[in-house]
Amino acid sequence: MEKKRLVMVGNGMAGCRTLEELLKIAPDMYDITVFGAEPHPNYNRILLSPVLAGEMTIQDIILNDRDWYRDNGITLHTGRRIVKLDRVARKVIADDGSEASYDRLLLATGSNPFILPVPGKDLPGVIAYRDIADTDAMIEAAATRRHAVVIGAGLLGLEAANGLALRGMQVTVVHIGAWIMERQLDKPSADMLQASLERKGLTFLLEKQTESLIAGSDGRVSAIRFKSGETIPADLVVMAAGIRPNTALAESAGLHCNRGIVVNDTLQTFDPKIYAVGECVNHRGIAYGLVAPLFEQAKVCANHLAQYGIGTYKGSVTSTKLKVTGIDVFSAGNFMGGPGCDDIVLHDPAGGVYKKLVLEGDRLVGACLYGDTADGAWYFQLIKDGQDIHELRDHLMFGQNHLGDVGHKGQTQAAAMPDTAEVCGCNGVCKGSIVKAIKEQGLFTLDDVRKHTKASSSCGSCTGLVEQILASCIGGAYTPADSSSKALCGCTDLNHGEVRAAIRERHLIDIPSVMRELKWKTPNGCASCRPALNYYLISTWPHEAKDDPQSRFINERAHANIQKDGTYSVVPRMWGGLTTPDELRAIADAAEKYKVPTVKVTGGQRIDLLGVKKDDLPAMWADFAKAGMVSGHAYGKSLRTVKTCVGAEHCRFGTQLSMSMGVKLEKMLFGMWSPHKVKLAVSGCPRNCAEAGIKDVGVIGVESGYELYVAGNGGIKTEVAQFFCKVGSDEEVMEYAGAFLQLYREEGYYLERTVHYVERVGLDHVKGKVVEDADNRRALYERLLFALQDYKDPWLERAEAEAKSELGREFRSIAIKQAMKA
């Protein structure tokens, strides 16, 4: 069958991304021809500013070099502008007379700079700031001329001004508005930005309307006159007063346009054979200028060009997170506020930080951040979700503080960090390496950066910093990841919530049927989704869904913790942190018998034997079983420990029997799998020696009973547990704690700790289901007990298993010599 012909007019970022997406899913469907008016292959337009500033070269910002087009069989015509579109004959004609026929046409003509209609606008020395040619013209002018005037104090204008100043020109920025960047900033933050730019040598003239541009004796522009009558010298004038969708070709062919080529949710124009993407498009009344929405369009458009016919583009909620000449700026939503809105404002001029949050009732509707934008992504999420924030209101301004406490010297502002500063303490990645990778590899998303640099890919505590660096490198191209709608992994478009719901509603009980029913894109998933699915199945359908060991991380399959050298660590359970001379003897014997190199006391009040060979595990466990000891699950997304203080058993301050309470809880929860690890603690009095304040469930004894705290965390980011309720008896502690954990097991997303789960659903929701609704609490508690009944010690099971059996062979290697004989 002959291939169809796809012609693309325009060779920019949105168009080429569409082709990339198309080639990914239907590489052989089309013969592709591309016409670009510029003489270059596709480059990253957003990085023209660093080129102007002398930080990068044109070569650095090429996204698809000519080899890419050739390798993908794409015919590329650069330097050829399409002047005619003949929809009847289905062909396009270029300015050199050459023609190309199409079966499908993709218009990606981008936008044109808006040129003020003033006398002198066509003089030599008057340019826009849109492409490589403009950038070259500015670099050239900077070498020989002195006075530059930039008209327009938007992002582009300020970047042009900054670049020209760095190249030695005296730069004046002229702006019609009362403050700069009025589409992204309110007045106080804009004033701070202006003051900072003035310190760098830029001059600002606000509320000035240009009347005309005046030619000098050499015929070039030499001055600019304002309506106020003032005149200032100008050897170079850069028009940066906005952009307009480039619809000339589409309009000339009679395609419906209205401030952009009008498209439907599949990016199809009014001519069904013609699609359009990018800045030239008007989708539901909006022409987007940021790259992130355009890439979303590209994905949908490619899907339809490939005739898959699924996926629609519904528009994008945008936020602006960018770096203006080294200063982080973020804004989203209605950041100006107005009647019916409350503003929460933090303004520290000397510290260079400004934050404004706009609230309407109990909803966050807008945010404007200057200097410290670490929490931009969080605010954006709250705005998009329309989440009720009344509980957060008193500390909303201080941010989510999703940056961890440690690992990056407490830095929260990426812009202030030198290139040599370590951003990711886990993988030892410094800021310079991240910046380099983003620029050289053309990265646009957090996931890309994680893949290429490993930064933020381990504990994730530096994610906020990495996002800031990404935003500062790629400017408007960056949109913070949308956590609530984020797909579980690359194998599916569904998110955790949707997958959980489907497993419950459709009564799915094994991984193959989940993948089949939910149309997984990969034959057997990946190392991210399989453990998640396995957990969702066994927690939703206990005793019915079969646990799949091959979908468990090795620690949960081997029931021990893998170490860096491939050996394992073994932690026997010590109920409530209590042990006996017999148990200690058994541990000492095992340590000697199996030549354990390191024996260590853990933070969870038990003993860790480190450096055990995998082949030795079943025998060691058999020895422990003889001493009555069971697995401590120190390796699992499961109940870890219940830490206790001495309590009223011995302590002169103790009010409750914390050790016995801890043992009861630990015995009840033994073998509980959960979205992430779960740690408990019981203290016998408010002195809280068991550190119950940073546990998933913390129990603190008081004279009249127990206080329960939930969703604490002592890890990456220390989070203090929140007061949950007060109860009177041990039985109630078990019921309330059990019900809370069961709710978390049923609603939590895989790898979500209780603190993040509660943050997502709200403490009110959890209290409503557990504390306030007694029937529901008992039902949850019953379901937990049902799931946990008949749980067998996994160590004993494996120690007793036959070598050849499914459980046993995990620990037996095959000797090649024996194999040779066979």
C-alpha torsion 214→217→218→220, nearest 10: -10
Q: Is 316 or 457 the residue whose CB approaches other proteins more closely?
A: 457
| 257 strand-pairing partners | 261
| 329 strand-pairing partners | 322, 370
Closest distance of CB 490 from other proteins, Å: 11
DSSP for residue 792: P
Closest distance of CB 631 from other proteins, Å: 18
Question: Across the beta sheet with 231-233, what order do the strands follow?
Answer: 210-215, 221-226, 231-233
Backbone phi and psi for residue 486, each to the nearest 5 degrees, phi listed first: -70, 135
- Structure token digits, residue 525: 């998933």
Q: Please, what is the end-to-end C-alpha distance for the chain in angstroms?
A: 53
8 A C-beta contact, residue 567 and residue 628: no
Q: Is 432 or 549 the residue whose CB approaches other proteins more closely?
A: 549
Q: Is 40 or 454 the residue whose CB approaches other proteins more closely?
A: 454
Q: Is 254 or 512 the residue whose CB approaches other proteins more closely?
A: 512
How far from 100 is each of 35, 280, 303, 790, CA to CA, in Å?
A: 10, 21, 23, 72
Closest distance of CB 83 from other proteins, Å: 41
Closest distance of CB 452 from other proteins, Å: 5
How far from 797 is each of 321, 559, 713, CA to CA, in Å?
A: 54, 11, 32
Query: Which one-letter amino acid corresponds to residue 459?
Result: C
Q: Is 373 or 569 the residue whose CB approaches other proteins more closely?
A: 569
8 A C-beta contact, residue 656 and residue 708: no
8 A C-beta contact, residue 635 and residue 555: yes
Binding site for other proteins (CB under 8 A): 441, 451-452, 454, 457-458, 522-527, 530-531, 549-551, 553-555, 558, 562, 564-566, 804, 806, 809-810, 813-816, 819-820, 822
Closest distance of CB 573 from other proteins, Å: 23
Phi/psi region, residue 168 (left: phi>0; alpha: psi -120 to 50; beta: rest), is left
Q: Is 350 or 822 the residue whose CB approaches other proteins more closely?
A: 822
Q: Is 413 or 555 the residue whose CB approaches other proteins more closely?
A: 555
Q: Is 97 or 566 the residue whose CB approaches other proteins more closely?
A: 566
Distance CA 282, CA 474 (A): 24
Distance CA 82, CA 105 (A): 12
Q: Is 72 or 264 the residue whose CB approaches other proteins more closely?
A: 72
Distance CA 343, CA 359 (A): 6
8 A C-beta contact, residue 19 and residue 74: yes
Distance CA 765, CA 758 (A): 8
Distance CA 256, CA 239 (A): 29
Backbone phi and psi for residue 135, each to the nearest 5 degrees, phi listed first: -60, -45
Q: Is 652 or 821 the residue whose CB approaches other proteins more closely?
A: 821
Q: Is 178 or 526 the residue whose CB approaches other proteins more closely?
A: 526
Cβ neighbours around 768 below 10 Å, total: 12
Closest distance of CB 748 from other proteins, Å: 21
Closest distance of CB 563 from other proteins, Å: 9
- Structure token digits, residue 450: 């994680």
Closest distance of CB 558 from other proteins, Å: 7
Closest distance of CB 407 from other proteins, Å: 16
Closest distance of CB 633 from other proteins, Å: 18
Closest distance of CB 92 from other proteins, Å: 36
Q: Is 457 or 579 the residue whose CB approaches other proteins more closely?
A: 457
8 A C-beta contact, residue 443 and residue 456: no
Closest distance of CB 378 from other proteins, Å: 26
Location of structure tokens 């099971």: 797
